[in-house]
Amino acid sequence: MSTKGEAFAGVSVAITTPLKNGEVDYERFGEQIEFQVAAGTHCLCPVGTTGESPTLTHDEHDRVIAFVVEKAAGRIKVMPGTGSNSTAEALRLTKNAERAGADAALQVAPYYNKPTQQGFYEHFKILAEETGLPQCIYNIPGRTGKNIEPETIARLAELENITMVKEATGSLDQASQIINTTNLTVLSGDDSLTLPLLAIGARGVVSVVGNLVPQDMLAMVAAFESGDSVGAREWHHRLFPLCRDMLGLSTNPIPVKAAMQLVGRDTGELRLPMTPLDKSELASLRSTLVVYGLL
């Protein structure tokens, strides 16, 4: 049976926000968008965790979304992060994204203030009912401090505009319960768990390593969808060391930005409090990229 957000099945890339001398580098940003379009990526997710949304100003956040939509020009879907721990702020960001022409909105669970399950429900309900965009609930308790329980997600699934979940709890049990009790489109929020989640009924991934190797993520998902389980496993085991050894070095997006710099596609610049890899970590990353064949 088709899931609610089936139009967003496949590979979405949580795209980085390139910086140069402290400012968003829109020229390089355009190049990165064209790289993803050429690869055949299905959707871009700007200004999420990987896009350093916590350190962008509100004006920058809005401008980045408008820029990505404009550059995408309908060739690739755009699902920007518009979440906040303030419902009013999330609503403002989402309405601006809707006006800019985004295709959907990625809504991180309100963080730090740790709402009750009823608070989560009321927050996402307002976003779903007061904007016209399909909403993807982004559940990542390791960053937000609290889990959106599957029972709460099941209640939210009854709302028309709640169509997807970006599942980053690391729990196959939780993902199984969501898939078992709703018709939401579940997207993996952890690159290394994409194939296991696909095997239980997830429909795709919002990928970080897709910044580097979108075609490989696409190949793994396509192999699975075509019934080629052996091919899908081969891709999983090829990608797994890259996911483990790169993303395990430091907090996202520090390692992926460093990797983008090493392959010549980004300055690697971050905004505080994010800091670069140290020399030993950078040497480890370089070795990982050499083994994979990217250097």
Structure confidence by residue, pLDDT tens digits, 281-294: 999 999 999 999 99
Q: How far is residue 255's CA from residue 89's CA, in Å, rounded to a whole number? A: 29
Q: How far is residue 128's CA from residue 134's CA, in Å, rounded to a whole number? A: 7
Give the pLDDT of residue 183.
Answer: 98
Catalytic residue among 77, 125, 146, 166: 166
Give the pLDDT of residue 219.
Answer: 98
Beta bridge partners of 61: none
Active-site annotation holds for 166: yes
Domains of the chain (ranges; CATH) run 6-226 (3.20.20.70)
Per-residue pLDDT tens for 74-101?
999 999 999 999 999 999 999 999 999 9
Q: Which pLDDT band, with edges at 50, 70 and 90, does 146 fall under? A: very high
Q: How far is residue 101's CA from residue 132's CA, in Å, rounded to a whole number? A: 11
Give the pLDDT of residue 27.
Answer: 98
Active-site annotation holds for 125: no
Catalytic residue among 121, 125, 138, 292: 138
SS3 label, residue 137: strand
Give the pLDDT of residue 154.
Answer: 98
Tell me the whole-structure pTM to 2 decimals: 0.97
SS3 label, residue 60: helix
Q: Which pLDDT band, with edges at 50, 70 and 90, does 1 fall under? A: low
Please determine, for residue 237, whether its predicted confidence score (pLDDT) is greater than 90: yes
Q: Which pLDDT band, with edges at 50, 70 and 90, does 263 fall under? A: very high
**Tokens 């408008």, residue located:** 66
Per-residue pLDDT tens for 217-227?
999 999 999 99
C-alpha distances (whole Å) from 72 to each of 20, 35, 66, 123, 141 are 22, 11, 10, 29, 31
Q: What share of the chain is helix, strand, coil (3-state, %, to 5)?
A: 50, 10, 35
Per-residue pLDDT tens for 178-208?
999 999 999 999 999 999 999 999 999 999 9
Please determine, for residue 117, whether its predicted confidence score (pLDDT) is greater than 90: yes
Mean per-residue pLDDT over the chain, rounded: 98
**pLDDT over 70 for what percent of the chain?**
100
Give the pLDDT of residue 202.
Answer: 98
Give the pLDDT of residue 84.
Answer: 97
